[in-house]
A and B are shown apart, each in its own frame.
Chain A
């Protein structure tokens, strides 16, 4: 009986580990791709930031157009190494939250929606982008919960 219960708990533990690894690979793919795309061609992001209803000035738009992709790449890299995975997941959660605020603002105030031309993710409408960000945030929170010290899952 005890052996069966231990086996079942072990299986649940393995499943949780697999889910966690799936979430980590998802965010590595997401942030490395989007960060890399933005760094290769900075102009569309700069133009998009200048055209948002948030009225970014030129200096701030310039800083964000370089800083944001760099942060995304750093987050993807930190997720690759077990020592920094927890930090990477928290960083992913914060980044996605900021994107939710940004896309949410544009969805709620559609008076001047910046053109989201270019890139695979930009094939979506702003509403779809907003829902995608919500889904990603749920994954990030799940990953943080699974990797939290109390869960004792392997990092």
Chain B
């Protein structure tokens, strides 16, 4: 009886951990780069959904607050790969 009382909770725990591993395992950082971009908010990377800035060589910018300032957008959290496009400002709020 004591074994039964412990068995189900432990099984639930193992199931939850397996779910977490299966659902969140990210072996390819390129996936993140495709899904998310990062706005340079005063030196801190601010994660935003990936932007489509059309074709171009100007850096994309994003506005994260209504009527707020716009920020440069990068492809990576290290803010080293700028997202290039037509230089338009995208609202992401």
Contact = CB atoms under 8 A, between A and B. Distances in A.
B9 A40 contact: no
Nearest to A116: B47
Contact of A37 (B8, B15, B24, B36): B24
Given A50-B44, A117-B35, A80 B49 contact: no
Given A37-B24, A82-B5, A44 B47 contact: yes
A40 B46 CA distance: 20
Interface in A7-44: 21, 24-25, 28-37, 40-41, 43-44
Task: Categorize the interface residue count of chain B.
Answer: 20 to 34
Interface in A63-115: 76-77, 79-82, 111-115
Contacts of B35: 117
B16 interface: yes
A24 B9 contact: yes
Given A36-B16, A36-B20, A119-B24, A28 B47 contact: no
B77 A43 contact: yes
Contacts of A34: 20
Nearest to B44: A50
A51 to B, nearest CB: 5
Contact of A113 (B8, B10, B17, B93): B93
A25 B9 contact: yes
B16 A80 contact: no
B47 A48 contact: yes
Given A33-B19, A51-B47, 14 more contacts: A24-B9, A28-B13, A32-B17, A36-B19, A37-B24, A40-B25, A47-B47, A50-B44, A80-B12, A112-B65, A115-B47, A117-B36, A117-B47, A117-B49
